[in-house]
Chains A and B, each alone.
Chain A
Amino acid sequence: MSEHQRVVVAQHDTARGTLASYVAGYIFAVYLTVTAYLAVYNHLFSNTVLTAVIVGLALVQFIVHMLFFLHLGRETKPRWKLAVALFMIMVVVVLVGGSLWIMSNLNSRMTPTQQNNYMNNQQGI
């Protein structure tokens, strides 16, 4: 019984942030935001590399926010929040990646005239 209570207390306490975690998260996030901004503002790399760099910085900042502001790393087992978050990431990857894949494929296989004819014939648009 006492063991059970101790576990419950631990779970409760670790779900919250501390001043140090909020300050650290804020400093990291400002640093990442300003870095991405300056990289684009000064056009530091070629277009493709620059796009990859800012998307990378956004993903790092996503992790920083999840850990320091939403306290995902402080969760004790069983890690349900983490499980739901990972499922969400999977759905997002399938949704966004799949849409871009299908649409770029369609784009490269059909000329605009073909697309218009197809829509006229098939869907009456």
Chain B
Amino acid sequence: MSSSAITQADDSKPILGFWIYIMTDCVLFASLFATYAVLFRNTAGGPSGYQLFNLKNVLAETLILLTSSFTCGLAMLAAHRDDRKQTLFWFAVTFALGIAFLAIELTEFRHFVVTGNSWRRSGFLSAFFTLVGTHGLHITIGLMWMVILMWQVLKRGLSRSIIKRLTFLSMFWHFLDIIWIFIFTIVYLRGAIAP
């Protein structure tokens, strides 16, 4: 018991390391937010966010991602209980919600591009696609990572090293939800307030 407690606690170092990575990723997003905040009025005669954004879709995206963050937490609780079935179930739910989020986002992007409002249209749209697209890319990587880890849980069970990897993934996933809160507020809600 005591020796296993000590070896488990050794994971706190890699977890701190991953935490530092996440904090530096926050700085990456902060620079993209700053770029967006500087450029969002520069529509070059094109549409502004006020005309483009569909708030109901965005609220749906936000609630889907928030729920996926919650189910990811439930999956981690199951993993710590050593309950393989529940872990896989809740990660599968998280994965499905992540795909739903990505589908809504890509539909929105596609709609903008086919109506002539791609990133080439204006400074505002360049900054918008860079910021929201970088978040979407992170989500895509998180989903691929989730598939790989679910496969490992299925094949190798909930060993200590796999729980450590799942912990990293869950931290990454919660972090992406935090970034989305600011995209939701600063890009979409702020955009809907005034033209």
Residues of chain A at the chain B interface (Cβ within 8 Å): 5, 8-9, 11-12, 15-19, 22-23, 25-26, 29-30, 33-34, 36-37, 40-41, 43, 47, 50-51, 54-55, 57-58, 61-62, 65-66, 69-70, 80-81, 84-85, 87-88, 91-92, 95-96, 99-100, 103
Contacts and interface: CB of A to CB of B under 8 A. Distances in A.
Interface stretch (B91-99, B151-159, B173-181): B173-181
A69 B189 contact: no
Interface of B: 2, 5-6, 8-9, 12, 15-16, 19-20, 23-24, 26-27, 30-31, 33-35, 37-38, 55, 59, 62-63, 66-67, 69-70, 73-74, 76-77, 80, 171, 174-175, 177-178, 181-182, 184-186, 189-190, 192-194
13 contacts: A8-B5, A12-B12, A19-B74, A25-B73, A33-B184, A43-B193, A50-B193, A58-B184, A69-B174, A81-B19, A88-B27, A91-B30, A100-B34
A50 B68 CA distance: 28
Contact of A26 (B15, B16, B70): B70
Contacts of A23: 70
B180 to A, nearest CB: 10
A65 B174 contact: yes
Given A22-B73, A84-B23, A88-B23, A58 B185 contact: yes
A51 B182 CA distance: 13
Contacts, number: 129
A51 B190 contact: yes
A55 B12 contact: no
By secondary structure, the B interface counts as helix
Contacts of B20: 84
B73 A33 contact: no
Contacts of A11: 9, 12
A99 B182 CA distance: 17
Contacts of A43: 193
A25 B37 CA distance: 29
A99 B37 contact: yes
Contacts of B66: 26, 29-30, 33
B33 A19 contact: no
Contacts of B30: 91-92, 95-96
Contacts of A30: 63, 66
Closest CB pairs A-B (n = 6): A99-B34, A88-B23, A22-B73, A58-B185, A92-B30, A26-B70
A87 B73 CA distance: 26
Given A70-B174, A95-B34, 6 more contacts: A5-B6, A22-B70, A26-B69, A29-B69, A80-B16, A95-B30
B15 A33 contact: no
A25 B74 CA distance: 12
A105 to B, nearest CB: 12
Given A16-B80, A61-B181, A96 B33 contact: yes
Nearest to A70: B174
